[in-house]
Structure 1
């Protein structure tokens, strides 16, 4: 069973349990067969991983059956974070498939795809997979594929350690919140060997997410880490999403650091290693990054929101680093793919080699007031976008490249449909808090006034 709505802009997400599921094991089998056809993998191999969601083993087995039935060989790495899957794809130089619904609620599961060396899947390929998976089952291959299990966790950890200068650090006290997600699997391998005092929260793998939802973009899901930092006098905290490809940072005061500012810090560091290099951000990353990159002599490229779009820009411009507002961080020396764990290691190294604190590192960066991401359920998205555009007409420059973005003098407003959920997302930034609040409230009143349109 497959409901067409599970095919999103960048991947697959849909409900798999309960009274009204959107896809199931039969659907996963069909997607596996379609993936092999679209990628031309008969007689060739790909790597498969899955997160800790309760439906993962069943869906992974079904996907493998569909793929092997069409003649593909499965390299099964088992439980893995998404960036661990990117690592395996890069190391083995084969396409990759990760069974995960990332930060979505427990009832969901999904699929993320990549080409060999963790390159992003083309949008046309995802459309083709959707069409084939919903069509008649294909005839089986003359020669079925095989499956073998490979453990890449230790090699993944060693690779990350190789990419970050971890010597010369003072001893830090570090909290990490796995949120019952895949960081509970990868963090002990990556952070455990370091000379730090490590305090883990919710490290047990549990796809029901009994402590808090696995989405650190929502402020309430950061409260446990903030409290732990203050309780233990920690230097910082790392907070991961469900599939552990995103990492939020909490400073020594228990305050959340904007992912845009983390992007600025890492961008500046990477430009020191690669003078004049290119940095990729998305449409709603803070303009603070623009100023830091310009001051460092780098070149800025703006992408649409979403990991496939950012990775495509990383490859197109041979960018040294990229960052999104949602705490996705992309590194050229990680095949241009996103890895929250590598970003976390860089922040530990920066703080550990400095004489100051995490908040000291941030204090020297440009300051803007930001609304954060505000979500609204809206039935008629085009009508609401048109209403917002009309209300702001003549007050700034507007474009529709990624939802609706209006850029004024010292401020911007972006309203865009989610790539993964049936929501309209509002982000606003301005030089001062009063201007930001006024713009935010104006846009939000239009959006929510049209929620029943």
Structure 2
């Protein structure tokens, strides 16, 4: 069976897979990991179960001798910012990100506001299994409420100058954690802002929290039928951005990342962009325009920061529209991504579609097949042998690169499945690559099952 932690953090159905008891035990385990002293920042998104889980988590943290600094309902980037701003030893964000409303979860952050790396998550899980350490009655930690939103807003407005010209922006907040804050900051930076789905509501009545093209049709229609310069869509905890151009077409997360990088790094010499093995080649095209390089890591936000801390870098991000600006905060930052896009348009006086056309088009396909957890390592090893002539990249799964495209075969970190992603400049070639990858995957799965 897979461990408690997925690619980053823990998620499950609230009150079933993710209960108040588990939240308490995680709080106690975290306090134990910190040596039963120090401060922990706690934030949560708008899900109906979040306040309940915050109470339980706070009890575990204070029972373990640590102080709880409760930031209330905030976007994930504000929790990251607040952890460092209030000199906390760790942070916890109660969120299930883009998952449906019945889910909730937790992500853990270090003293610099970066997500726990795998080793630290594993250590926390080990403490959880063994049982955390409670303290004596006179060593119980304190619990206090603090405002992280005001200093975050002030820091953003101090860092970012007003845009060169007024831009009309339609922002879809998904009734999520950024609903009140992000539209207001964009107004203060000089935008004309129209907000939809901007009343915080854990039932997500406006649309599902995952900003897919299917889910943001209302935004697309509003942008295309008005004189808006662009549309912006966030997920539930507001750490990711999807952009809609002036014609109502939504850009993939890869392209959002690539265009944000071109604007943000335009004056940087030989910039180093960190991304994962699952991200589009459009990042390589962006790096070439900038005279920089792309470094690829394992999948997961903490892996990007691990590489940044080890070897340096100027920007990091994933294929889902999550971009990390390391000179700001060490987590994916929806608002800063918004700002880079608006600035790019205002500065160049080009439309989103015109900027999008400066990068090559790519077609992507995603396929999957069932694979029992216990067979995943053996399937990977068998694939490695079958594909050895291709000299595959083994950073995370098996990535095979050709002159005209690539595919990656990778086991899910949270489900009993194996995935195949492919990319090429034509749909036909992307299909061919996906079919080849799935053929090898099914052959390996069949042979491994026969051996076992």
After TM superposition, is the score higher than 0.5? yes
Q: Which residue of 2 aligns with 1:189?
A: 184
Q: Contact (CA 8 Å) 2:169, 2:228: kept in 1 or not?
A: yes
Structure 1 residues 357 and 38 mapped into 2: Cα distance closer, same or farther (>3 Å)?
Answer: same
For 1:255-270, what aligned pairs fall within 5 Å after superposition? 255-270=249-264
Find 2:34's aligned residue among 28, 36, 39.
Answer: 39
Find 1:177's aligned residue among 156, 172, 177.
Answer: 172
Q: Which residue of 2 aligns with 1:333?
A: 327
Structure 1 residues 23 and 290 mapped into 2: Cα distance closer, same or farther (>3 Å)?
Answer: same
Residues 221-241 of structure 1: CA deviation (Å, up to 9, x unaligned) = 232221221132321111111
Alpha-carbon distance, 1:100 to partner: 0.7
- Secondary structure of 2:107's match? strand
Q: Which residue of 2 aligns with 1:7?
A: 5
Find 2:163's aligned residue among 167, 177, 181.
Answer: 167
User: Is 1:283 paired with 2:277?
Assistant: yes
- Secondary structure of 1:253's match? coil
Find 2:151's aligned residue among 139, 151, 155.
Answer: 155
Paired with 1:153 and 1:68, the residues of 2 have a C-alpha distance of 23
Find 1:244's aligned residue among 231, 238, 251.
Answer: 238
Q: Which residue of 1 aligns with 2:134?
A: 139
Find 1:26's aligned residue among 21, 27, 31.
Answer: 21
Q: Which residue of 1 aligns with 2:217?
A: 223
Structure 1 residues 448 and 342 mapped into 2: Cα distance closer, same or farther (>3 Å)?
Answer: farther
Structure 1 residues 418 and 251 mapped into 2: Cα distance closer, same or farther (>3 Å)?
Answer: farther
Structure 1 residues 379 and 63 mapped into 2: Cα distance closer, same or farther (>3 Å)?
Answer: same
Q: Which residue of 2 aligns with 1:273?
A: 267
User: Is 1:126 paired with 2:121?
Assistant: yes
- Secondary structure of 1:220's match? coil
Paired with 1:422 and 1:203, the residues of 2 have a C-alpha distance of 36
Q: Contact (CA 8 Å) 2:242, 2:321: kept in 1 or not?
A: yes
Q: Contact (CA 8 Å) 2:11, 2:106: kept in 1 or not?
A: yes
Q: Contact (CA 8 Å) 1:246, 1:329: kept in 2 or not?
A: yes
Q: Contact (CA 8 Å) 2:423, 2:430: kept in 1 or not?
A: yes
- Secondary structure of 2:273's match? strand
- Secondary structure of 1:77's match? strand
Structure 1 residues 6 and 227 mapped into 2: Cα distance closer, same or farther (>3 Å)?
Answer: farther
Paired with 1:378 and 1:198, the residues of 2 have a C-alpha distance of 47
Structure 1 residues 220 and 167 mapped into 2: Cα distance closer, same or farther (>3 Å)?
Answer: closer
Paired with 2:197 and 2:307, the residues of 1 have a C-alpha distance of 35
Q: Which residue of 1 aligns with 2:292?
A: 298
Alpha-carbon distance, 1:389 to partner: 6.2
Structure 1: runs of 5 or more not aligned: none
Q: Contact (CA 8 Å) 1:153, 1:189: kept in 2 or not?
A: no
TM-score (structure 2 length as normaliser): 0.89
Alpha-carbon distance, 1:123 to partner: 1.7
Alpha-carbon distance, 1:328 to partner: 1.0
Alpha-carbon distance, 1:447 to partner: 6.3
Q: Contact (CA 8 Å) 1:175, 1:198: kept in 2 or not?
A: yes
Paired with 1:106 and 1:377, the residues of 2 have a C-alpha distance of 26
Alpha-carbon distance, 1:56 to partner: 0.6
Paired with 2:28 and 2:391, the residues of 1 have a C-alpha distance of 46
Paired with 1:227 and 1:377, the residues of 2 have a C-alpha distance of 37
Paired with 1:27 and 1:125, the residues of 2 have a C-alpha distance of 18
Alpha-carbon distance, 1:275 to partner: 1.0
Structure 1 residues 201 and 364 mapped into 2: Cα distance closer, same or farther (>3 Å)?
Answer: same
Structure 1 residues 164 and 131 mapped into 2: Cα distance closer, same or farther (>3 Å)?
Answer: same
Alpha-carbon distance, 1:404 to partner: 2.1
Q: Contact (CA 8 Å) 1:240, 1:248: kept in 2 or not?
A: yes
User: Is 1:313 paired with 2:307?
Assistant: yes
Structure 1 residues 253 and 385 mapped into 2: Cα distance closer, same or farther (>3 Å)?
Answer: farther
Paired with 1:89 and 1:109, the residues of 2 have a C-alpha distance of 21
- The answer to which of 190-199 and 436-445 deviates more is 436-445
Paired with 1:41 and 1:139, the residues of 2 have a C-alpha distance of 8
Paired with 1:314 and 1:184, the residues of 2 have a C-alpha distance of 30
Alpha-carbon distance, 1:63 to partner: 0.6
Residues 253-303 of structure 1: CA deviation (Å, up to 9, x unaligned) = 111112222222232333333212321111121212213313422232211
Q: Contact (CA 8 Å) 1:413, 1:429: kept in 2 or not?
A: yes
- Secondary structure of 2:346's match? helix
RMSD: 2.6
Paired with 1:281 and 1:4, the residues of 2 have a C-alpha distance of 25
Alpha-carbon distance, 1:160 to partner: 2.4
Residues 160-218 of structure 1: CA deviation (Å, up to 9, x unaligned) = 2333343312x2221111112112133233223243232222122222223332112x4
Structure 1 residues 71 and 298 mapped into 2: Cα distance closer, same or farther (>3 Å)?
Answer: same
User: Is 1:366 paired with 2:368?
Assistant: no
Alpha-carbon distance, 1:245 to partner: 0.6
